[in-house]
Structure formats: C-alpha cells, structure tokens
Amino acid sequence: MSELADFRAETRAWLEDNCPPGARGPGPVSNGSTKIEITDPDTVLWLERMVEKGWTVPNWPVEYGGGGLDNDQYLVLLEEMASINARPALSSFGTSMIGPTLLEFGTDDQKARHLPRIARAELEWCQGYSEPGSGSDLASLSTRAVDNGDHFLINGQKIWTSGAHNADWMFCLVRTDPDVPKHEGISFVLLPMDQPGVEVRPIRMISGESPFNETFFTDAIARKEDLVGELNKGWTVGKRLLQHERSGMESLVSGGAKGDEMSLVDEARRWIGEESGAIADASYRNQVLKYEMDNHVFRMTQRRAVEESEGGTPGAATSIFKVYGTELQQTYYDLLLKMRGVRGFPDTISGGDTTSQGRELEDTKQWLFYRAASIYSGSNEVQRNIIAKRVLGLPD
C-alpha cells in the first residue's frame, strides 16, 4: 500500500472509532467562545478528541496545535469526514480568518501566543472592519489608533461586528496615519474585548435576535506586540484575511458536508413526492438536479483550488467562490422553502394549520439569514468588481 493509502485506512479507522454518532449530520458546532457553553455530550467529546489529534486545524503546524498534515493527507481527511457526514469539531473566526492570517503575517511570538489557543478552542474572535460610512469603501475607515508608548490608544466605532458579544478578542483595522492616501495609513491590530475601553451594543433585528453589534472604543488598548504586519501596512494584511474569509474553505474543512443542510433530493422526495423513484414534479426535478450538479461542481472546484494552492487559500479568485457559494446557498433555501410552501411557516403565523416543526422552522430562519450572505464579507457586487479587475484584468 502507498503511504497515502495507509494514511486513508488509519484515518478511516480513527474517525470510525472516535467520531460519536451525535457528531454526525446536522447539530451544534463549537466556535471556542468562553461565553458560550456547549452542553451536547457528543459534540463536547468530538471537540476534545479532535483537539488532541490536532485536527481542529488539520493543516496547521503541530507546534501551533495543528495536525501537521500535508496537502494530500488534508484532502484525504476531508473526504473521510464527508463519507461519515462528520461535522467540523470547531468552526470559528479563529480557524477560518485570523489563524491563517497570523500563519502568514504574524511574528513568532504572535503565533505562539494566539494560534494554539485557537486550535484548542479556548477563545473566539470577532472582526472589527466595517464602520458607519465605511462598508464597501472599507479603506475610508476612521477609527483612530494613536501611539502611546508600548500600546496604541484606540477611539472610534465599528458596526455589524458579528458575535462581538461572545468574542474574547478582536482583529481590527485602525487608522494610524490620517495624512497619507487612505490605503497607506491603516494598521491591523489585535485587542482583547474584556477591557474598559470597549463597549459592545447589540443591534436588534426584526426577528428579535442580535447576531451583530455596534462596537465603541474609548481609549481602548491594543498592545504594540499585537500589531500584525508593519505599521501603516495593515491594508495588505486585512485584504488577505478577507480572502481567507471569502474562500469558503471552512465548508471544505467540514468535509464538504454542510453541517446544517439536508440533501435537497431527499427533501424533494419528502415534500413533492416520488414517482418510480424520481421526484414526482418535472419542474422541481429539473431545478433540484441543477442545484445538485452546480453544488457538486462548486465543491470540486474548491477542492481543485486547494490542491493547486498546496492547501493554502487562493488570492483574488476567492471572490468567485464567495459569489458562487453564497448564491448557491440562497438557491438551496429558495427551493426548499418553495417546495414546503406554507408548511415552512411557524404555527403561530399559519394559525397552527401546518406540520411545521423545529427543523422546518430552523430552515425558514436560515432562508432569511442567507439573504445577508451576498452582503457580508463584502457585497457580491463588490466581489464582481474584484473579479473583473484582479482576476480577468479588465480596465478600472
């Protein structure tokens, strides 16, 4: 047997023995936050075992809590996890955004202090980029950081800060030189959230939930040792982080199995019905199969990108993944909701005249949530601009 075939056999056996039944298929996934308690025993056990193995971040170096897998081994692990429908043990801003960014731009000290804690699910991060008036035009941001000896003093406001209320640390873009062209006066800093100068105010949505926040800084402190990259060169670091975010590699780490979604074919059989083993309605049959094929091709393309970039995140081409991936997610939920019709509404709205239960209600919430997917992480219109300029080389 080749070495890779040996690795596959060992991985399959390890997963079979160690991935508890309750960690397969849809269910909770830890993000590492010290402020959220995961109580499901199988989810907790799965996380412990994956941490010990270094497979919460399979392709990070072992010294930083990773699995040290090479590209081929990493892809084998993803395939084997997908084959048993294993959920990711950890899914966080740490593993998908700031971790890979620190691996590229962090000092040895920053890597040693922050990466192992991310890998061991000991804390969660939030992203301090957007400001009122600086969303798509992010480089116009005005949150000010002033040199104050061994630290920066930060004053200003961020907005739409997802999960800031549960985060332990923030990675943040700040203006350190207001007198140069806008891209050249930005720095990238890390700061703890639990300090007097940081105030988090939840933004309440029409649903009553508050997944994101306004974050105010009044003389907040970021230590100089937590400046990532050079002073005033933060735009390069911040852009690279966005590529990690937009790549959707996180869903690949889940083995390509989307933890929260059932097969659309199974859903169609359930809601539309079957005739001789096929989805009964020809129009839905076509739409569902087109979605399944597009989704399959998308996963293969992502996988090819991982192979070609030797396990790393591609560059500007990640904007293609962001646009296509988010539109696919919207198509999935549009189709699902259309198939269910009124059965997707909560009983309180439909007057109790439906079969809607927890799962269906969750899907309806997801359908609403994914309207935001073509906005967050940079709107899809802006991604199309990036694809035009940076991938296709079209004139500005």
Task: Quote the strand ranges of the chain, DSSP E.
Answer: 125-128, 144-147, 151-159, 169-175, 186-192, 198-203, 212-223, 227-228, 274-275, 278-279
- The β-bridge partners of 186 are 175, 233
Taking the C-alpha atoms of residue 226 and residue 145, their distance in angstroms, rounded to an integer, is 13
- Residue among 43, 91, 161, 318 that touches ligand FAD (CB under 6 A): 161
Instruction: Please check whether residue 211 is in contact with residue 205, taking contact to mean a CB–CB distance below 8 angstroms.
Output: yes
Contact between residue 188 and residue 171 where contact means Cβ atoms under 8 Å apart: yes
Contact by Cβ (8 Å): 306, 252: yes
Please state the separation of Cα 290 from the chain's center in Å: 25
At closest approach, how far in Å is the CB of 371 from ligand FAD? 9
Lay out the site mask for ligand FAD across 317-356 (x = CB under 6 A, - = otherwise): ----------------------------------------
**Contact assessment for residue 43 and residue 29, using Cβ atoms and an 8 Å cutoff:** yes
Query: Which range binds ligand FAD by CB under 6 A, 54-62, 220-228, 293-301, 380-388?
Result: 380-388
Q: How far is the CB of 113 from ligand FAD (least distance, A)?
A: 23
Binding string, 193-222, against ligand FAD, x = CB under 6 A? -------------------x----------
Give the nearer residue to ligand FAD in terms of CB position, either 30 or 326: 326
Contact of 84 with 17, CB cutoff 8 Å: no
Least Å distance, CB 261 to ligand FAD, is 18
> Total residues contacting ligand FAD (rule CB under 6 A)?
17
**Which residue among 135, 311, 315, 346 contacts ligand FAD (CB under 6 A)?**
135
Instruction: Based on the shown chain and the rule CB under 6 A, indicate whether residue 129 belongs to the binding site for ligand FAD.
Output: yes
| Identified binder of ligand FAD from the candidate list 116, 153, 294, 376, rule CB under 6 A | 376
How far is it, in rounded angstroms, from Cα 298 to Cα 195? Answer: 43
Q: Which is nearer to ligand FAD, 111 or 246 (CB)?
A: 246
Q: With binding defined as CB under 6 A, does residue 385 bind ligand FAD? A: yes
Catalytic residues: 245
Residue nearest to ligand FAD (CB): 135
Rounded Cα distance between 238 and 131, Å, is 15
CA–CA distance, 367 with 370 (Å, rounded to integer): 5
Nearer to ligand FAD by Cβ, of 140 and 355: the residue is 140
The smaller minimum CB distance to ligand FAD, of residues 75 and 382, is found at 382
Q: What whole-number distance in Å separates Cα of residue 86 and Cα of residue 301? A: 21
Which CB atom, from 54 or from 163, has the smaller least distance to ligand FAD? Answer: 163
* Positions in the binding site for ligand FAD (CB under 6 A): 127, 129-130, 135-136, 160-162, 212, 372, 375-376, 378-379, 381-382, 385
